[in-house]
Amino acid sequence: MNKPLLTMTLSISLFGFITGCEKPAEDPVAPVADAKNLEAPEVVAPTPEVAPKAPTKKALEDSKPSSNAERVDGNALLAELKPQPPAEISNGIKDKKDPRAPQTDPADLLPQAIEASPAILDLGTFSTSEKGIGVVTLTNTAEDAVTLISARASCGCTTSDFQNNTVLNPGDTTDITITMNGKGKARKLSKTVTFTIDGRPPLRLEVKGETVSFVNLDVDPLVVDEDGSSTVTLTSTDGEPFKVLSILPPIVANLSEEPAATQELVIDWDTFWDEVRTTKVTIRLDHPKCKEITTNVRLSAEQRKRLNDIIKDRRAGNDLPTKDPTRPLTGDQLSRYIKVGRGDQVLKYIKDGKGKFDAVDRGGVSLLSTASQEGDAATVTGLLELGAEVERVDRVQRTSLMYGARSKNPEVITLLIDAGADIQARDSLGNTPLSWAAGFGTGDVVMALVDAGADVNTVDNVLGYTPLLWASGFGETKSISILIDSGADMEVHDTAEGRTPLMHAVRTGENESVAFLVTSGANVNALDNANQTALHVAAAGNNVSLDKVKSLVEGGADTSAKDKDGLTPLDHAKGRTDGDAKAVVDYLAEHSKSE
């Protein structure tokens, strides 16, 4: 049959089929649009009057009248009318994205040969803090071997001990452990585990269970009280004393330290609006049979709009409390103000008793450090005047001066140094403020620290990096110039790979930095721990520009140098896959011949 005739036949057949069926409105099946994407897991065996093939026993059972009989016949008709591909294609894997997909056409599937015992797995009753566990036995009832390709479980179910591509010989069995998570609320659960079987229909196993909670919440879902607070009660159903360990979001200020069979929680709804990301609330407990309760906050249409507006503002970077606070703000809240340029509001809140000048965020970063990193000289000045400690460190021993070193404002550096900041302080990795400025600040900030007497040749205690190594790999060319003029060692090697500032500039620095170091006299043929030169590094590195390669060669780099593996820069360049690969190979090949 030629293509136009086939198309016409298909269209007429489908029209007759569709107009002759009374498809329920609530069953939105579109068989025509999905015809080319039909897969074995979605095809139910056709009834005898639609399919010309002899029905299997399984097909006869499935052809009994049901609420979705129209969809069954439609799929069967489409499968019958669909042009068949050549044999070598129909026997291959149809979905390249999922190699576990059935490898045979739905019309060619053999009868189901795998039986599950039990047919429905009931995990019984278990706590919301426990997992329901059961075992299903799969048996091959066929006369030949059957391959279980994969097992896919609904959300909340796992089949951790199932092995993909398990082969069952005739009569063989395999036990599969199925686990259902009871986390959250008490409820009845119903999940499905689908076993994909090579050449046969999928086997779908229903998994049931029921969870019970040993701690109940008297209000579920929660309802926002516009007066500012409301009280909810948690009660242990078995009388076991327990404590509330935490609540997310943190909308309850004071949690009792005393175990009790009943716990009252006073919810601060102002904090809810300050912290809200979602309406889900998670309460963690130390009850032996109930470790966690989840609930939701029911919102009115107006409250839902407010939530959406808050989320929209936060995505735009304006992650601030939604109204003037009625109690002191946390370090996180005050820090958010500073990060969006509202340091003046922070100073006002602190003066009004609604915040503390020595507050820190959850990472242990002080307000002074946050303002310093933002380059906010006015807020830095205000916090220092209020009594902020200039040498206060975070959890990795970083000072305000180190945070300020990453800013773009040398005025902040001057303010902190004048307030007594230690220019030689070291963080837990051994980096100084100048190390931070060289790698992540600006040349002007580097100059401010150097002018104040910062040591330009300090070495950290992890990678062996000096400020010049940081500047070469990540900083500005201006910073490199200032450091070299101030006596930084141009030929220093790091302790991690034995690489020089020039090698770091080649790998991750700026084109101008490479050219500047070469013209400043950096040794272009220095060796790292792998006996590689800067040209080896440039040639091997995907996305290292041709300009950097040219700067090295024109500066006298040896194109024939060999590393520990006996490879030249050209050898390394041939392994590149980036856009500059061919240009670099051609350039090195030409200059290697000229030598």
To the question of domain 227-301 being in CATH 2.30.320, the answer is no
Within 10 A of 594 (CB to CB), how many other CB atoms are there?
Answer: 6
Q: Are 527 and 558 in contact (CB under 8 A)?
A: no
Residue bearing the bigger pLDDT, 230 or 26: 230
Residue-wise pLDDT tens digits, 161-188? 899 999 999 999 999 999 988 766 778 8
H or E element that contains 59:
helix 57-62
User: What tokens does 114 get?
Assistant: 């795998």
**What CA–CA distance (Å, rounded) separates 411 from 417?**
10
Nearest to 61 by CA among 3, 112, 16: 112
3-state secondary structure of 282: strand
Confidence category of residue 90, pLDDT binned at 50, 70, 90: very low
Q: Which residues pair with 133 in a beta bridge?
A: 179
Nearest to 497 by CA among 522, 538, 533, 547: 533
How much of the chain exceeds pLDDT 70, in percent? 78
Sign of torsion, CA 420 425 428 433?
A: positive
pLDDT surpassing 60 at residue 84: no
What is the pLDDT at residue 575?
93
User: What tokens does 65 get?
Assistant: 């009248």
Q: Are 194 and 151 in contact (CB under 8 A)?
A: yes
**What CA–CA distance (Å, rounded) separates 470 from 479?**
10
Distances (CA, A) of 163 to 96, 98, 156: 21, 16, 19
What is the pLDDT at residue 593?
65
Stretch 225-243: mean pLDDT, rounded? Answer: 91
pLDDT surpassing 70 at residue 310: yes
Confidence category of residue 595, pLDDT binned at 50, 70, 90: low
Within 8 A by CB and 6+ apart from 76, the residues are 43, 44, 45, 46, 47, 50, 51
**Domain extents in the chain:** 3-104, 114-212, 227-301, 324-422, 490-595
What is the pLDDT at residue 149?
93
Task: Kindly report whether the peptide bond that precedes residue 221 is cis, defined as omega within 30 degrees of 0.
Answer: yes
Task: Spell 110-124 as b/e; 16+ CB within 10 A means b.
Answer: bebbbebeeeebebe
Stretch 368-383: mean pLDDT, rounded? Answer: 96
Q: Given phi > 0 = left and psi -120 to 50 = alpha, else beta, which region is 156?
A: left
What is the pLDDT at residue 320?
56
Residue-wise pLDDT tens digits, 410-439? 999 999 999 999 999 999 999 999 999 999
Q: Hey, what amino acid is at 414?
A: T
Stretch 443-450: mean pLDDT, rounded? Answer: 96
**What CA–CA distance (Å, rounded) separates 479 from 439?**
9
Task: Name the most confidently modeled range: 145-154, 290-299, 551-560.
Answer: 551-560
The CATH number of domain 114-212, selected from 3.90.1170.50, 3.40.50.620, 2.60.40.420, 2.60.40.10: 2.60.40.10
Residue-wise pLDDT tens digits, 242-253? 999 989 888 887
Q: Which of 242-251, 320-329, 361-370, 391-400 has the lowest mean pLDDT?
A: 320-329
Nearest to 283 by CA among 226, 342, 239, 235: 235
What is the pLDDT at residue 102?
45
Nearest to 95 by CA among 85, 84, 103, 87: 103
Q: Would strands 229-236 and 215-217 be described as parallel, antiparallel, or unpaired?
A: antiparallel
3-state secondary structure of 137: strand
DSSP-assigned states of every residue in 85-125: PPHHHHTS-S-TT-TTS--S-GGGPPPP-EEEESSEEEEEE
**What CA–CA distance (Å, rounded) separates 406 from 365?**
14
Within 8 A by CB and 6+ apart from 25, the residues are none
Within 10 A of 368 (CB to CB), how many other CB atoms are there?
Answer: 31
**Could you tell me how far CA 508 lies from the centroid of its own chain?**
25
What is the pLDDT at residue 324?
62
The CATH number of domain 490-595, selected from 1.25.40.20, 3.40.50.1000, 1.10.3720.10, 2.40.110.10: 1.25.40.20
Q: Which of 25-34, 211-220, 565-574 has the lowest mean pLDDT?
A: 25-34
CATH architecture of 324-422: Alpha Horseshoe (1.25)
Within 8 A by CB and 6+ apart from 42, the residues are 75
**What CA–CA distance (Å, rounded) separates 362 from 566?**
51
Task: Kindly report whether the peptide bond that precedes residue 65 is cis, defined as omega within 30 degrees of 0.
Answer: no
**What CA–CA distance (Å, rounded) separates 91 from 107?**
12
What is the pLDDT at residue 325?
66
**What CA–CA distance (Å, rounded) separates 441 from 484?**
17
Stretch 521-532: mean pLDDT, rounded? Answer: 97
Stretch 366-375: mean pLDDT, rounded? Answer: 96
Stretch 300-318: mean pLDDT, rounded? Answer: 75
Comparing 114-212 with 227-301, is the CATH topology the same? yes
User: What tokens does 351 get?
Assistant: 């003066």
